[in-house]
Amino acid sequence: MFDHELANLVQFRSTGAPVLSVYFDVPADPGELKGVHARVHSLLKPIHDVVTSDALTHAARESLRADISRLEGLGERGSELLGRGVAAFACSSEGLYEEVVLAREFPERAVVDETPYLRPLLSTVAQARRYLVVVVERGRSWFFDLLGREVDEATHIIAPSTQRPGRPSQHDADPQHVENRAETLSRKHYHATGEAAATLLQKTGAERMIVGGHHETVSEFVAMAPKALRSRVVGTFVIDPNTMTPAKVRECAQPVIDDYERTERTQLVATAYERVNARGNAAIGIGWCLLATNESAVDTLLIHDDSEVPGRVCDNCGWLGLAGDECPVDGRPTRPTPDVIDETAEAVLVAGGRVEQVYDDSPLANDVVAALLRFPVVQPT
């Protein structure tokens, strides 16, 4: 699930100085770059107050001061990062510096803690879906591999009638014959497009497909596609293949993806509440979800917006809780964390689960978190 750098961040624990984590966005318009440095400086301004805190040792203050200086320099690199989200993690005294650039926006923030603040980054990595986008017309089809905000043209195919005209026959003057022949060739092309799409779905690992093109050709192709392929189509869009670019394809496909994933998140939340009401495998609320996480029972963790809840963590066994200076599992001292939901998200992802940030209106606005479980966990009293 994680590459080497992310695995290192998940496992990192500082023994002295705090870790500074910063998330910010760079606008895609070069004309707006002047404001980036000011925004980064504004994000880091509250951290200057932490530097003067009596709770930190002199060495920890110097480490954090160096981290602030280094991360403020990110604001000078806006031209390298147009249209990107940046997550940076620094702890000078421990030799930590990691920078992750993704083609998406993050909620902007700066966090100081003993561990890197990873929830926005990890949920982004976990949620990144690969889609196969097919743009089809009667004589040619294009295939695009879309992951997150990145899109690449995978391949294209040309109908046989377009590749070579063939020798005219005596029937070519018959309009009905010409129409029938054109329809037959279109059917063959749509069939070949479907076969190519099925192959690419398997090759790229994409789970879902989006179809674009002129309204008529999109309707014809989807109607003729095998049932197994139609079930992978999550939406369609209209585009003129003669003027399209990969960027335009991504722009047209994105609203389809947003609608599909919004509906999926809404259904996940509804499923969690339905299961709880039926005494099934689900948990609602931070206390219950923490207990389920401690038992490695969480399959999907659902988090409302960017909610934060303070809590406690045992770095020895991984126990998570809302309170308690001593771990109830191994008796070791626990450490405070400003956001136990962040720690919970990390634990769920490391255990092979899934994390979904739910920004839409839902019952989670009151309960903060919910979880679909692998097996039942009794609600704490």
Q: What does the pLDDT look like over 60-85, one tens digit per residue?
A: 999 999 999 998 888 777 677 777 78
Tell me, yes or no, whether 270 lies in a domain.
no
Using the predicted structure, report yes or no on whether residue 363 has a pLDDT greater than 50: yes
- How far apart are the C-alpha atoms of 327 and 329, rounded to whole Å? 5
Residues 253 and 306 in one domain: no
Using the predicted structure, report yes or no on whether residue 320 has a pLDDT greater than 70: yes
Tell me, yes or no, whether 10 lies in a domain.
yes
- The average pLDDT across 156-178 equals 56
Give the tokens for residue 261: 């994933």
Tell me, yes or no, whether 122 lies in a domain.
no
Question: Residue 164: its pLDDT value, please?
Answer: 46
Using the predicted structure, report yes or no on whether residue 139 has a pLDDT greater than 90: no
Give the tokens for residue 317: 């066994």
State the sign of the Cα–Cα–Cα–Cα dihedral 120, 91, 97, 349.
Answer: negative
- How far apart are the C-alpha atoms of 107 and 87, rounded to whole Å? 10
Residues 31 and 61 in one domain: yes
Between 237 and 166, the higher pLDDT residue: 237
Between 219 and 153, the higher pLDDT residue: 219
Residues 314 and 231 in one domain: no
The three-class DSSP label of residue 197 is: helix
Between 305 and 378, the higher pLDDT residue: 378
Structural contact between residues 99 and 8, judged by C-beta atoms closer than 8 angstroms: no
Question: Residue 182: its pLDDT value, please?
Answer: 58
Last residue of a domain, one of 66, 87, 117: 117
Question: Residue 364: its pLDDT value, please?
Answer: 92
Question: Residue 78: its pLDDT value, please?
Answer: 66
- How far apart are the C-alpha atoms of 45 and 27, rounded to whole Å? 21
| Span 8-25, pLDDT tens digits | 888 788 888 899 999 988
Q: What is the value of pTM for the model shown?
A: 0.70
Question: Residue 48: its pLDDT value, please?
Answer: 84
Tell me, yes or no, whether 36 lies in a domain.
yes
Last residue of a domain, one of 203, 235, 264: 264
Between 184 and 290, the higher pLDDT residue: 290
Residues 6 and 113 in one domain: yes
The CATH number of residue 25's host domain is 3.30.960
Residues 109 and 160 in one domain: no
- How far apart are the C-alpha atoms of 328 and 312, rounded to whole Å? 11
Residues 101 and 151 in one domain: no
Using the predicted structure, report yes or no on whether residue 321 has a pLDDT greater than 50: yes
Using the predicted structure, report yes or no on whether residue 240 has a pLDDT greater than 70: yes
The CATH number of residue 331's host domain is 3.30.1330.30
- How far apart are the C-alpha atoms of 224 and 239, rounded to whole Å? 20
Structural contact between residues 309 and 286, judged by C-beta atoms closer than 8 angstroms: yes
Q: Which domain holds residue 17?
A: 1-117
User: What's the total number of domains in the chain?
Assistant: 3
- How far apart are the C-alpha atoms of 302 and 308, rounded to whole Å? 13
| Span 282-301, pLDDT tens digits | 999 999 999 999 999 999 99
133 forms bridges with which residues in the sheet?
144, 210
Question: Residue 185: its pLDDT value, please?
Answer: 76
Residues 135 and 113 in one domain: no
The CATH number of residue 247's host domain is 3.30.420.60
Question: Residue 179: its pLDDT value, please?
Answer: 53
Alpha-helical (H) ranges within 235-283 are: 246-277
Q: What phi-psi label fits residue 233: left (phi over 0), alpha (psi between -120 and 50 degrees) or beta?
A: beta
Other CB atoms within a 10 A radius of the CB of residue 30 amount to 11
Question: Residue 53: its pLDDT value, please?
Answer: 75
Tell me, yes or no, whether 271 lies in a domain.
no
Instruction: Give whole-number Cα distances, 338 to 55, 183, 283, 296, 343, in Å.
Output: 15, 64, 22, 22, 10
Kindly report which listed range (45-49, 163-167, 208-212, 271-275) carries the lowest average pLDDT score.
163-167
Residues 288 and 258 in one domain: no
Last residue of a domain, one of 117, 151, 184: 117
337: which residues sit within 8 A by CB, 6+ positions away?
113, 114, 115, 310, 311, 312, 313, 343
Residues 96 and 171 in one domain: no
Angle in degrees, 0-180, between the axes of helices 4-11 and 119-127, rounded to the nearest 10: 140
Residues 99 and 12 in one domain: yes
Tell me, yes or no, whether 272 lies in a domain.
no
Tell me, yes or no, whether 155 lies in a domain.
yes
Residues 175 and 92 in one domain: no
| Span 72-125, pLDDT tens digits | 888 777 677 777 788 999 999 999 999 888 766 667 889 888 889 887 787 666
| Span 14-58, pLDDT tens digits | 888 899 999 988 877 777 777 777 888 888 888 988 888 777 889
| pLDDT level of residue 169 (50, 70, 90 thresholds) | low
- The average pLDDT across 321-335 equals 94
Residues 85 and 135 in one domain: no
User: HEC string of 86-137?
Assistant: EEEEEEHHHCEEEEEEECCCCCCEEEEECCCCCHHHHHHHHHCCEEEEEEEC
Question: Residue 181: its pLDDT value, please?
Answer: 60
- The average pLDDT across 160-178 equals 52
Tell me, yes or no, whether 77 lies in a domain.
yes
Other CB atoms within a 10 A radius of the CB of residue 154 amount to 18
